[in-house]
Amino acid sequence: MLNKDELDRVIVVLVAARNPLNIGAAARAMSNFGFLRLRAVNRYEVVFREARSAIGAAELLQNAEECAGVAEAIADCSLVVGTTAVGSRQIEHPVHRLEEGGELIRAHLGSGTSARVVLLFGSEKRGLSNDDLSYCHWLMRIPTREEHISMNLGQAVAVCLYELARGEAVPVVANDPAQATAAELGRMESALLGALHASGYIKPGTEAATEEKARRLIRRMRLSSEDAETWTGMLAKMQLKRRGERAFQRR
């Protein structure tokens, strides 16, 4: 079982959930299993307000944070895990079965007291978009049968949190370096894209694809805070250097 501190370092993020009943159900399951930190990325403010009546989870919903985008919702976290039904869509990420995913998450929580994990859930209709997925380190799949893979949002949250709470916690190892947060990786990503732009690596029309590719690439590296900062500094320098050179060439 996870202790209070570990539970507090897990954040559930609902992206574009539309049905207030589902948001309420997700909040109730969170409260059942002791995960009290909910964030919602949602343009439909009213939907979220309507959900505030979920049985037994009023306080949790009251404390829920509304975020403008995924980047904001995950900024202070060092591991971002997406949930997916893995349909026909081509998946570019490593996908773990829920049970294995739960072990990895508990191990991450045990890697240091500043390690924070986001569980990202998509909308009822479409799940997570490719853009949402590009913020994830890896994905987790609930083992449903092939004939009917798509789960109800509230039930998917319940099953994931049950599995996460069920297993043995991993004791915190103090000497692991702190993992980079999503905000730190975001800065590195900006620096990388800047350097790629400056170098002419990015062809016109491929900006969006390259951006997603870069985001996934960086998340696969599992950088410490310190290493992400080093990279960011190096890439920022390259960007400036290339700009200087090109300015020089043009003259």
**CB nearer to a second copy: pick between 151 and 228:** 151
**CB nearer to a second copy: pick between 22 and 134:** 22
**CB nearer to a second copy: pick between 37 and 215:** 37
Phi, psi of 72 (to 5 degrees): -70, -40
For a second copy, the binding residues (CB under 8 A) are 1, 21, 25, 28-29, 31-34, 55-57, 99, 142-145, 147-152, 154-155, 158-159, 162-163, 165-166
Q: How far is the CB of 151 from a second copy (least distance, A)?
A: 5
CB 61 within 8 A of CB 51: yes
CB 29 within 8 A of CB 61: no
CB 35 within 8 A of CB 163: no
Q: How far is the CB of 239 from a second copy (least distance, A)?
A: 48
E strand residue ranges, the chain: 10-15, 38-41, 65-67, 79-84, 95-97, 117-121, 138-141
Q: How far is the CB of 207 from a second copy (least distance, A)?
A: 37
Q: How far is the CB of 146 from a second copy (least distance, A)?
A: 10
**CB nearer to a second copy: pick between 33 and 135:** 33
**CB nearer to a second copy: pick between 62 and 175:** 62
Three-class DSSP category at 43: coil
Q: How far is the CB of 30 from a second copy (least distance, A)?
A: 9
Which DSSP string corresponds to 103-148? HHHHHHHTT-TT--EEEEE-BTTTBS-HHHHTT-SEEEE----GGG
